Amino acid sequence: MASSTKFIFITGGVTSSLGKGIIAASLAKLLQARGFSTTIQKFDPYLNIDPGTLNPYEHGECYVTEDGAETDLDLGHYERFLDTTTSQANNVTTGRIYNNVITKERKGEYLGKTVQVIPHITDEIKRNFFKLGEEGKYDVVITEIGGCVGDIESLPFIEAVRQAKWDLGQNNFLVIHLTLIPFLAAAKELKTKPTQHSVKQLLEAGIQPDILVCRTEHHLPQDVKKKLALFCNVQLNCVIEAMDAETIYDVPLLMKKEKLDERVMSKLKLTSKTNTDLEQWKDFLGRLKNPTQEVNIGLVGKYVSLPDAYKSIIEAFVHAGAASECKVNLKLISSEELHAEAIPKKLEELDGVIVAPGFGERGLEGKIEAVKYVRENNIPFFGICLGMQVAVIEYARNVLGLPEANSTEMNPNSPDPVIGLMEDQKNVQQMGGTMRLGSYPCELKKGSKAYQAYGKPKINERHRHRYEFNNAYLKAFEEKGMSPSGINPETGLVEIMEVKNHPWFLGAQFHPEYKSTVLTPHPLFVRFIKATIENKKTK
């Protein structure tokens, strides 16, 4: 391990969903703005090997990294805030830890020892804690421990954190505990007891938090901070208030105001390389909060009751909207509620429509009807992954005159399978990690809308799918006005389809939303927003 690397661990208590990921990303952003190279990793206590097979309702979207890892959606926050890429090493689950240990045991690597949670599981967790620090690329590695202190499934991780302190030494190790200070309306009082109990559980596990970050809806008065400091064994200036923010992108500035980065640097004996440079970030926030126009965009999908299922898409619209000083009002529309009669009422007021990714047949016909409506009524359309496939099926049925056209995912016996399985997918038995995953190259056709958006002939984009456009139908599509504007140069597979005589009709087989960040909004989203603004003017 690079001895110069400092390690910060972020734990959570009282309740889940307090925003450990946003606090981790905000702290990393502040340290990065001071010139430190920083990365963040997430350790999840569930037994799935990765989130790839989890229903989005269970855990929100599955985020995909450049190297094809299916990961927790918090890694999306890390990349959006830091503008740097993450990898398989940045997300580890209990499932992966146990899988590694059991694989070693089966190979006989433990030389007949009894394999136990301590030391074998905790050693494997620590090995993964320190992995990114060993590369020598990072000054600071921030590790977010998923779940809540006190959960049975989190115990081995908390024990590994306790041990890590002794492996790393005094000034290389820091624990931040994120907790909740509830406000009891009846008593008109902020209550510190849940936080005291949470810290007590950490202390029982042998960990003394260095900094408390307190989520609250009301400002913490000095006497409340003093009480927390006294009962939780932390310095008064290390009780940090984290008020609810208007947008997650405010949090780095709020944490700077609370001096979180300064407290961390003083405890880790880090001396700042540069002054905090957050000018671009502030510029983005200025454009985000002071839009000069607004558009209404419908997001059609089947998981709309949980917006986290489309987290990266929603954030990509925030970035692209800010780039055009435009407020994007996203209306989430369930594809299962869309049928021919209901569509005009639901879609006519929209300036643009995006059909989201997904798997399975549920809601497919609703998506097809929505695409037909926006194509025929010249409303800007953007399809992502399954959204592009739906656009292809709709075009085949209604323009090419193939009424039974379909994807073999939905109808294996379709006489016109315009979307089908790649050859190397046909014999796949397992679900997890077996799709086309990660970054692949794509060559763009000059003069196309995609080329205009990117402004260059070659791009790389991230994928997460099994089914592809069936090239046997390519000529028929081109003759009828839908053409491929992006092709994978290695496989000849279609990556982007466009309709020529339309204000903006584009479907992408890849997931552009994964690469959109605060400082580099994704060109396709930016161009789509511009098309919706233009379309609104011509209405």
- pLDDT of 426 reads 56
User: pLDDT grade, residue 128 (50/70/90)?
Assistant: very high
Q: 195: annotated binding-site residue?
A: yes
Query: Choosing from 385, 463, 495, 522, which is the catalytic residue?
Result: 385
Q: For 39-121, where are the alpha helices, taking DSSP H only?
A: 56-59, 74-82, 94-107
pLDDT tens digits, 239-276: 999 998 999 999 999 999 999 999 999 999 998 777 77
Q: Is 409 annotated as a binding residue?
A: yes
Asked if residue 429 has pLDDT above 70, the reply is no
User: Is-catalytic flag, 513?
Assistant: yes
How wide is the angle at C-alpha 158 spanned by C-alphas 154 and 161, nearest 5°?
Answer: 145
**Residues 66-88 pLDDT 10s:** 988 888 888 999 999 999 999 88
Lowest mean pLDDT among 230-239, 271-280, 406-415: 271-280
Total Cβ atoms within 10 A of residue 290: 10
**pTM score:** 0.91
Query: Active-site residue 77, yes or no?
Result: no
349 annotated as ligand-binding: no
404 is annotated as contributing to ligand binding: no
Predicted pLDDT of residue 1: 44
Whether 515 has a pLDDT exceeding 70, the answer reads yes
Tens of pLDDT, residue by residue over 435-474, are 778 999 999 999 999 999 999 999 999 998 888 999 999 9
Where b means 16+ CB within 10 Å and e means fewer, 524-537 reads bbbbbbbbbbebbe
Q: What single string gives the DSSP state of each residue in 15-58?
A: SS-S-HHHHHHHHHHHHHHTT--EEEEEEE-SSSSSGGGS-HHH
Token pair listed for 461: 């984009």
Q: Is 267 annotated as a binding residue?
A: no
Residue with tokens 């960990």: 207
Answer yes or no: is pLDDT of 302 > 80.
Answer: yes
Please compute the mean of the pLDDT values over residues 407-429 and round it to a whole number: 78
**Which residues are paired to 213 by β-bridges?**
178, 240
pLDDT at 78: 94
Sequence-distant (6+) residues with CB within 8 A of 433 are: 49, 50, 52, 70
In whole numbers, what is the pLDDT of the chain averaged over residues?
A: 90
Closest CA to 507 of 477, 537, 533, 536: 477
Q: Are residues 21 and 33 in contact, defined by beta-carbon separation less than 8 angstroms? A: no
Answer yes or no: is 152 a known binding residue: yes
Q: What integer pLDDT is reported at residue 112 of this predicted model?
A: 84
> Does 409 or 295 have the greater pLDDT score?
295
Looking at residues 320-336, what average pLDDT do you find? 93
Tens digit of each residue's pLDDT (9 = 90 or more) over 349-361? 899 999 988 876 6
